[in-house]
Structure 1
Amino acid sequence: MVAKTLFGFEEVLARELRHLGAQKVQIGNRMVSFYGDTGFMYKANLCLRTAIKILKPITSGRVRNEKDLYNFIQRTKWEEYLSNNDTFAIHATVNSTIFSHSHYISLKTKDAIVDQFRERTGERPSIELDHPDLAIDVHIQNDMCTVSLDSSGGSLHHRGYRTATNIAPINEVLAAGLLLLSGWDGQCDFLDPMCGSGTMAIEAAMIACNIPANLNRKEFAFEKWLDWDMDLFEKIEEACLNKTREFNHSIIGMDREYSAVRKANVNVENANLTDFIKIKEGDFFESNKEVEGPLHMVFNPPYDERLEINIEEFYSQIGDTLKKSYPGTNAWFITGNLEALKHVGLRPSRKIKVFNGKLESRLVKYEMYAGSKKAKFQNK
């Protein structure tokens, strides 16, 4: 099988897969391949935090022209996956000098499938782009064509808890990936000081409590497959829920906009995490560290020119606030404005290249020591 992910999260996803029990895990570009049975496919969709989709390959072969492609698709016994009354959709990606248009590949694949049904039964399944019974993925790399079934359906970043959003909300998979890259494991207090709709705090709580990432998702594509095994899925879901753990620290989301606080609270309630997360109204630049001991901070400050802020002043305030008010804190944030980092006034201890959508960004870490850094190392 193949788990697709965002750039920069391949290693994180591979670790997740190995932890779940996947076999023969291999890292690729924005994807990780692995072996597992049907039950593991259900578990991967339910539990993986940094996967966008889980694809189940059903056939692969070489195609050198459109006739090859048509005949190759027709060799699959599609009645094993579809009936005349079902609907289907095709998503194609192409990286080839032979084929150049993914839409054309989709059309030829569709023709081959419906022609097969017409020849055998006199009827054909229908195309349904928005909510098909079967989602088919066709990938052509040079002359190698791989046909897979999309077991997820909609992107797995649609967790199911976020019904209220603000301007430029962070993708749930991106949020979870940033948290895991930052080393968040739920062993200390957590703060998102610019929480927006609460996504970072919610993902942090699910990681801390080992709650399956997609527990609140309404459905997966595999639930419409002909071999759907509801009893097996329910057993796997129950087993995963039995592995949740206690969390004895605080998770706080803060935002200076009341509308954001209200929306974040709605989403926290949707995720059934009100016992673990506190959302409050407040200005980070006027705040102080409120907990004893270490604090883990991850946030997504504004960096888009469409937002009405003075970037230079804003990022300077981030640095000043961390330095003056947050000793004993590992502070991480993502920015797509690489020039803005120059105004923080602190030296990051780590910079990790990631993408927010198509925007190249950096996840940066600032270690704010309690007392001077020099004293910290002298006492070791």
Structure 2
Amino acid sequence: MNNNFKMVAKTLFGFEEILAKELRNLGAGNVKEGVRNVSFEGDTGFMYKANLCLRTAIKILKPIHSFYVRDERDLYKKIYDLDWSDYLTPDTTFAIDATVNSEQFSHSLYVSQKTKDAIVDRFREDQGRRPNVDIKFPDVRINIHIQRNQCNLALDTSGRSLHHRGYRTATNIAPINEVLAAGLLLLSGWDGQCDFLDPMCGSGTFLTEAAMIACNIPANINRKEFAFEKWRDFDKTFFEKIVDSSLNRTREFNHRITGYDKAPSAVRKAQDNCANANLSEYISVERKNFFETRKLTEGQLHMVFNPPYGERLNIEMEKFYESIGDTLKQGYPGTDAWFITSNLQALKFVGLRPSRKIKLYNSHLESRLVKYVMYEGSKKAKFNKPPEL
């Protein structure tokens, strides 16, 4: 018997294709890319596995109802008419997350309030008691999305955003989001088949995500809790089998993952976070100024980093980005160097022609993920080789 149901994985702009690929590789059915989301089908076990393993998903939603709404009275009535006893009891706490893009509904907090009112009024009418709202730690989190006049209701299976992996206890100023870091690594083609360097590693997020990709470790293995663990039908034994099965698919990694940072505090934080993820055996973090380094390994090197944009640190931007280009040219032959920046003007000072530019967003900042190929051999070979398409 087919027990599959539809789910929606939310993601960051530009990650839809790689998330769809992740889902197909995990075994999802009917995968369809949207804008900042990918829909798919699977059973309860796959819902557990998607939350545990997906690297580029922010949340996994389980749609439960969809209907047309005219105004707030219509919204209240249609929410009230639904049978909420399938998901809640008077002893269950819940929270509402609302997103609206509609002329009729302009305030998400108002939509949340009307939805909450309809649910608790229905319980009072049917059972004489009502469930309570708990914004921070609800038993059930309900997602409502109104696009023009179309209302979609879903259960949030994840809870806190899936970028909260659980290993990062120490951070620097404006650390890179774990989902963003994993997505950048996957977009760069990182697959664990060579050495890896983050020359400005901060608190070590790229290092940890790179090691988990290289070893095929589930992205959220260190996470403390998923929302579905509080559901009435949660099967703990089944979930533990999913965890064990996912861990059995890990693989050995025979190369080096290295991080540099010139700040001693950043080095300590990166080391602590790598240790929290139980990945210290694969990762070394050293106090070094990238601009004073050279490539120390033989063979191909894969480099991904997140240089300052000028928003976090007071730096001389032109000189800083010029130094990135000079260091790559002079010290890193045989390297694919990728970095993300929202300072699009600063890219002009690198002094190298990028072979790829990918438009992304780092939080609210429009950014570019750029690739520079540092070839082995003569200068003539470097400049004559055509750029990637």
Deviation at 1:373, TM superposition (A): 5.9
Equivalent in the alignment of 2:75: 69
Q: Could you tell me which residue of structure 2 aligns to residue 80 of structure 1?
A: 86
Report the 3-state secondary structure (helix = DSSP H, G, I; strand = E; otherwise coil) of the residue aligned with 1:332.
strand
* 1:293 maps to which of 299, 304, 311: 299
Cα deviation digits, residues 308-349 of structure 1 (max 9, x gap)? 110000000000000000000000000010000000000000
Q: Tell me the SS of whatever aligns to 2:190.
A: coil
State whether structure 2 residue 33 is matched by structure 1 residue 27.
yes
CA distance in 2, matches of 1:305, 1:178: 20
Q: Aligned pair 1:249/2:262, yes or no?
A: no
The DSSP-based 3-state class of the residue aligned with 1:119 is: helix
Match status 1:51 vs 2:57: yes
User: Displacement, 1:377?
Assistant: 9.3
Pick from 195, 200, 204: which aligns with 1:194?
200
Match of 1:113 in 2: 119
The alignment's C-alpha RMSD in Å is 1.4
Q: What residue in structure 2 maps to residue 309 of structure 1?
A: 315
Specify which of 319, 325, 342 is matched with residue 336 of structure 1.
Answer: 342
Q: How does 1:59-208 map to 2 (within 5 A)?
A: 59-208=65-214
| Residue correspondence of structure 1 range 236-275 to structure 2 within 5 A | 236-275=242-281
Provide the C-alpha distance between the structure 2 equivalents of 1:96 and 1:379, rounded to a whole number of angstroms.
51
Structure 2 gaps of 5+ residues are: 1-6
Q: What amino acid sits opposite 2:127 in the alignment? A: T
d(CA) in 2 for partners of 1:17 and 1:160?
22
Residue type of the alignment partner of 1:134: V
Cα deviation for residue 85 of structure 1 reads 1.2
* Percent identity for Structure 1 against Structure 2: 70
Amino acid at match of 1:53: K
Shift of residue 378, structure 1, vs aligned partner: 8.3
1:281 aligns with 287
The change in CA–CA distance for 1:262 and 1:378 in structure 2 (over 3 A counts) is closer
Q: Deviations over 1:225-269 (max 9, x none)?
A: 111111111111111000000100000011011100000010000
**Distance between the aligned counterparts of 1:143 and 1:374, measured in 2?**
60
Distance change in 2, residues 1:26/1:253 (3 Å): same
Matches of 2:105 and 2:361 in 1, distance apart? 28
Deviations 1:122-151 (A, max 9, x none): 111111111111100000111111100000
Query: Which letter does structure 1 place at the counterpart of 2:330?
Result: K
> SS where residue 223 of structure 2 aligns?
coil
TM-score (norm 2): 0.96
* Residues 362 and 247 (structure 1), Cα distance of their counterparts in 2 relative to 1, 3 Å cut: same
The secondary structure found in structure 2 opposite 1:239 is helix
Give, as a single letter, the amino acid of the residue that structure 2 aligns with 1:150: D
Change (3 A) 1:320 1:376: closer
How far off its partner does 1:375 sit? 3.1
Counterpart in 2 of 1:223? 229
Distance 1:310 1:53, change over 3 A: same
Q: Does 1:354 align with 2:384?
A: no
Shift in Å, 1:67? 2.0
Change (3 A) 1:342 1:24: same
Distance 2:306 2:383 in 1: 30
SS at match of 1:127: coil
How far apart in 2 are the matches of 1:68 and 1:123? 24
Q: Which amino acid aligns with 1:82?
A: L
The match for 1:42 among 48, 58, 61 is: 48
Task: Give the match's secondary structure for 1:178.
Answer: helix
Deviation digits for residues 10-50 of structure 1 (CA, Å, limit 9, x no counterpart): 10100000100111111111000111111101000000000
Aligned residues between the structures: 380
Letter in 1 for 2:256: S
Which letter does structure 2 place at the counterpart of 1:92? A
Could you tell me how far apart the structure 1 residues matched to 2:378 and 2:224 are?
49
* Cα gap change, 1:137 to 1:378, in 2 (>3 Å): closer
Amino acid at match of 2:281: D
Contact 2:173 2:312 in 1 (8 A): no
Offset, 1:374: 3.9
Residues 200 and 259 of structure 2 are in contact (CA less than 8 Å); yes or no, is this contact kept in structure 1?
yes
Can you list the C-alpha shifts for 1:181-220, whole angstroms capped at 9, x where unaligned? 0000000000000000000000000000000000000000
Q: Structure 1 unaligned segments of length 5 or more: list them.
A: none
Is the Cα–Cα contact under 8 Å of residues 174 and 312 in structure 2 kept in the other structure?
no
Distance change (3 Å), C-alpha of 1:321 and 1:216: same
| 8 A Cα contact 2:45 2:238, kept in partner | yes
Q: Residues 188 and 320 from structure 1, CA distance in 2 versus in 1: closer, same or farther, beyond 3 angstroms?
A: same
Q: What displacement does 1:304 show?
A: 2.5
